[in-house]
Amino acid sequence: NALIKARAAFDHTGLPTIADDSGICLASLGGAPGINSARYAGTRVDEDNVAHLLEELTAVGANSEADRRAEFCCAAAFVADGIEHVELGVWPGTVLPAPVGTHGFGYDPVFRPDGYEVASAELTAEQKNEISHRHRAFTALLPIVREYLVKSTIIPD
């Protein structure tokens, strides 16, 4: 999806374009919600999507922490004249049995990142932005974009 978005924007504008797509994936749900994360419950309402995710986990008997392993994934794409490049950022963790925290959006209230004792909704924006799947994807994409911009003399070396 990220590459489709970046191609469409590049084709429309002719300008170098960056786009991304993100989702949360659980092996116990066959990779769902995945690219359907934003509308998993049929709406774009975060609370509905979280509730639906928890219901689905209960329905498949995903009661243990191992059954609730999850990954936030972000594909970040760069499209420009003669280049198409995609980087993937993965943020592993566990889905909690109930929402906690007030920061963030989406599935943050039920996602506890590996190495933390709190949900991502309990992290500050600064903390989350330093470790998230988006941070990882865009950090990996940055050298590609920079190289293109330098070669294009858009920015000095």
Q: Classify residue 34 by burial, with Cβ atoms within 10 Å: 0-12, 13-18, 19+.
A: middle
The stretches of 18-80 forming alpha helices (DSSP H) are: 46-59
Residue of 11, 20, 21, 48 marked active site: 21
Comparing C-alpha atoms, which of 89, 104, 93 is closest to residue 138?
89
Residue 85: C-alpha distances to residues 11, 45, 78, 111, 140 (Å): 15, 31, 5, 29, 11
Active site residue 21: yes
Rounded distance between C-alpha atoms, residue 151 and residue 157, angstroms = 8
Kindly list the catalytic residues. 21
